């Protein structure tokens, strides 16, 4: 055990920003540090149980919130690195650490002495006491703090109930066993998916095999082949930045098929198979929900969401389906007809769709998204994004070079408010590698709020797998990759602009079907002419993006909007199928999935393909029974954005209102109250459908 001079046992180091000493942390530090932090946390719990003084907010609720910070510090770093920078040795630790944490969390939530203290405070300060409402005078910090105090007490009490405090001893033990097993299954699912993703490589050496693929994408593929020690040619992987150009542009149909099949069958019927993990996860989640008095896992989850019931969320998705599905069918028909007319394709397959959809778009709008890459150099996109944030919110970002990082690709940025006060620290980790899971996400290494040594600012990270630079050209992004940066930066601003007292309420720890609002609204600035002027400059000439290109992009904005909506609905409804069905009725993962998605199918199924085995959002992330949140928040975002459009997309007054009412408030109030305070009314349920041109 490494306990002496363990950097994870130093809650803060001596850096001016109290930054994490990544340069000193090694894999062998985590287990002893977490064991030590657990021992300390358990000792605090025992002291609290023995405390004979009357329970108060300060000596119970706040004490638990603050005294777990050392454990949160070490485990937060561990799980962030688990996703972003971990080898097999590191990953193996999760099978030891996750059950330890699950057991500790369960022991607190089911401890009758601790719950009795929490309940006494709840009965005194919440029961029969009107909840503080929003809006509130933001200058009245005492009133804000009182409202947060009420919310934290209520959430703490509810969390105990939802995690077994009222169960009998037998059921508490069963719940503990369930939680510990679930804590192992999610890392297993993640490991299998990453293993399956990394295991596939398509090495092409014949120029005829890559005909049609843009030069920039080929340069990246050639560079990757060189890095992997291949003898020339081009190497393609299942990372989106590598796969997408091939399936969109490669003229050779057989290669599109190889790539599409490989991607669609990740972690299904291979050495990295996730089927047993899925069946066990849904079985345990269902049993857990029933133990706690809910009929399904979906009912359990959505009880604490804006939607409140699965029926409300499902009805919301079904309404979109009724409008979007006929449109999607027509869009598919147009694409199939185009493929037949253009190349005589009479047996249209799923791997033909991206290729011919792109060609159809190009024909209709004289526009190919690949044309935009030279104007989306990653450094320019970031610079422009930061300028937009400065214009609307008054914040500024400064790159710094003396902050320790966990990988050489990571950059660090200090974030300052318009009064030059320090807001927080931002880590950017934007490019793919074998030790990082796919996709993009925002995460926090330190939440804003109250700690044992006072208030601390947030430390936020954006992690992605964007097109990397090569030895011949810089990172030039696809339009959708630029959108990803805007999206994740919206999440980052949510965390950076949090202004709460208690860190467990701080942004972005809000209701899950509200959390995507700040990220999705940020995407809108990407294709606004005023905003593009900040960053869309040719990487070689400095020439601004020609207006004719912008006009074409905007004209094509709703191209295949029906298909895009149905694709998201298919995932949302598949999620609900897994979490509303009795697991005893599920014997075959693939058969169950096929039945669940049948009415959303736009193409014939690919043999050997399976969505669920790679559906990390719901089986290894926080979106179980919550994938609908993307569409739910998009509906909120479309309506919120309309206010910017009405009063100016760079209007600092509108932005300040969004900041004060949405970004800064965290989970201090119900999100509907916050939305109404910003928009002046409840959301327009049709705003998204109108924007997508569907109604």
Catalytic residues: 488
Closest to 103 (Cα-Cα) out of 183, 22, 190, 4: 183
Query: Which structure tokens are listed for 254?
Result: 């057989």
Element (H or E) spanning 203, and its range?
strand 202-204
Contact between 586 and 592 (Cβ < 8 Å): yes
Structure tokens that stand for 136 in this block: 């509130």
Nearest to 34 by CA among 99, 87, 91: 99
Tokens of 682: 């409840």
Give residue 397's Cα distance to chain centre.
Answer: 23
Would you say 619 and 500 are in contact if contact means Cβ atoms under 8 Å apart? Answer: no
Half-sphere exposure of 19 (CA within 13 A, CB side): 23
**Pairwise CA distance, residues 242 & 305, whole Å:** 36
Q: What is the C-alpha separation between 312 and 293, in angstroms, rounded?
A: 20
What is the spatial distance between Cα 234 and Cα 225, in angstroms, rounded to a whole number? 6
Block residue for tokens 């630079």 = 469
CB atoms within 10 A of CB 184: 17
Residues 85 and 80: their CA atoms lie apart, in Å, by 8
d(CA 668, CA 96): 35
The DSSP line for 404-429 is: --SSTT-EEEEEE-TTS-EEEEEEEE
Decide: 286 and 582 in contact? Cβ < 8 Å. yes
Is residue 451 within a helix (H) or strand (E), and if so which, with residue range?
strand 449-451
Angle between helices 671-679 and 629-647 (to 10 degrees): 20
Rounded (10°) CA dihedral 243, 244, 248, 250? -30
Residue with tokens 């190919």: 368
Sign of the dihedral through C-alpha 349, 352, 354, 358: negative
- Is-cis flag, bond preceding 508, omega within 30? yes
Using a 10 angstrom Cβ sphere, with 0-12 exposed, 13-18 middle and 19 or more buried, the burial of residue 588 is exposed
- Let me know: does 556 contact 364? Beta carbons within 8 Å: yes
User: How many C-beta atoms lie closer than 10 Å to residue 473's C-beta?
Assistant: 18
| H-state helical runs in 251-408 | 253-264, 275-291, 297-302, 310-343, 350-365, 378-393
| CA dihedral for 140, 146, 149, 150, sign (positive or negative) | negative
SS3 (DSSP) at 606:
coil
């Amino acid at each position: 055990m490494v306990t002496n001079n363990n950097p994870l046992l130093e809650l803060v180091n001596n850096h001016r920003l109290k930054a994490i000493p990544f340069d000193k942390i090694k894999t062998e530090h985590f287990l002893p540090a977490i064991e030590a932090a657990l021992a300390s946390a358990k000792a605090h719990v025992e002291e609290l149980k023995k405390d004979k003084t009357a329970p108060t907010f300060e000596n119970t609720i706040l004490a638990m919130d603050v005294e777990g910070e050392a454990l949160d510090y070490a485990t937060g770093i561990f799980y962030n690195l688990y996703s972003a920078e971990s080898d097999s040795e590191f990953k193996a630790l999760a099978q030891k650490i996750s059950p330890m944490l699950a057991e500790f969390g369960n022991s607190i939530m089911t401890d009758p002495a601790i719950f009795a203290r929490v309940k006494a405070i709840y009965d005194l300060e919440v029961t029969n006491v009107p909840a503080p409402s929003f809006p509130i005078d933001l200058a009245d910090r005492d009133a804000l703090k009182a409202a947060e105090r009420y919310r934290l007490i209520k959430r703490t009490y509810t969390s105990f109930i939802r995690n077994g405090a009222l169960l009998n001893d037998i059921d508490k033990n069963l719940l503990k066993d369930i939680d510990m097993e679930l804590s192992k299954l999610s890392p297993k699912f993640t490991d299998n998916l990453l293993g399956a993703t990394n295991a596939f490589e398509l090495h092409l050496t014949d120029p005829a095999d890559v005909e049609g693929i843009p030069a920039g994408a080929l340069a990246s593929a050639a560079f990757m082949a060189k890095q992997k020690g291949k003898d020339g040619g081009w190497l393609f992987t299942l990372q989106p930045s590598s796969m997408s150009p091939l399936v969109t542009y490669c003229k050779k149909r057989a290669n599109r098929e190889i790539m599409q099949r490989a991607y669609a069958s990740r972690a299904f019927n291979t050495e990295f198979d996730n089927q047993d993990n899925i069946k066990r996860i849904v079985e345990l989640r269902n049993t857990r929900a029933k133990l706690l008095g809910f009929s399904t896992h979906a009912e359990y989850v959505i009880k604490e969401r804006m939607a409140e019931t699965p029926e409300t969320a499902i009805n919301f998705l079904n309404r979109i389906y009724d409008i979007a599905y006929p449109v999607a069918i027509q869009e598919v028909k147009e694409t199939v007809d185009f493929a037949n007319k253009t190349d005589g394709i009479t047996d249209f397959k799923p791997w033909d769709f991206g290729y011919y959809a792109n060609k159809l778009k190009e024909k209709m709008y004289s526009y190919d998204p690949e044309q935009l890459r030279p104007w989306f150099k990653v450094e320019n996109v970031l610079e422009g994004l930061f300028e937009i944030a400065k214009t609307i919110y008054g914040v500024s970002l400064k790159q710094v070079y003396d902050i320790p990082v966990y990988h050489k690709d990571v950059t660090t940025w200090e974030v300052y408010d318009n009064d030059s006060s320090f807001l927080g620290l931002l880590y950017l980790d934007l490019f793919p590698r074998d030790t990082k899971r796919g996709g993009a996400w925002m995460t926090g290494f330190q939440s804003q709020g109250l700690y044992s040594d006072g208030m601390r600012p947030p430390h936020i990270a954006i992690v992605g797998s964007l097109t990397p630079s090569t030895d011949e050209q810089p990172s030039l992004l696809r339009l959708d990759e630029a959108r990803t940066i805007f999206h994740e930066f919206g999440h980052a601003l949510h965390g950076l602009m949090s202004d709460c007292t208690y860190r467990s309420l701080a942004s972005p720890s809000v209701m899950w079907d509200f959390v995507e609002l700040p990220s999705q609204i940020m995407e809108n600035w990407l294709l606004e002419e005023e905003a593009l002027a900040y960053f869309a400059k040719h990487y070689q000439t400095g020439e601004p993006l020609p207006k004719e290109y912008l006009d074409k992009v905007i004209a094509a904005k709703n191209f295949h909007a029906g298909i895009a909506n149905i694709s998201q609905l298919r995932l949302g409804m598949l999620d609900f199928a897994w979490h509303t069905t009795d697991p005893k009725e599920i014997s075959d993962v693939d058969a169950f999935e096929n039945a669940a998605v049948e009415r959303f199918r736009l193409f014939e199924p690919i043999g050997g393909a399976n969505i669920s085995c790679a559906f990390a959002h719901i089986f290894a992330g926080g979106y179980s029974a919550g994938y609908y949140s993307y569409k739910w928040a998009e509906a909120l975002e479309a309506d919120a954005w309309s206010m910017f459009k009405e009063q100016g997309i760079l209007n600092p007054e509108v932005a300040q209102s969004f900041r004060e009412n949405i970004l800064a408030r965290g989970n201090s109030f119900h999100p509907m109250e916050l939305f109404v305070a910003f928009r002046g009314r409840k959301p327009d349920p049709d705003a998204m459908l109108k924007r997508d041109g569907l109604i």
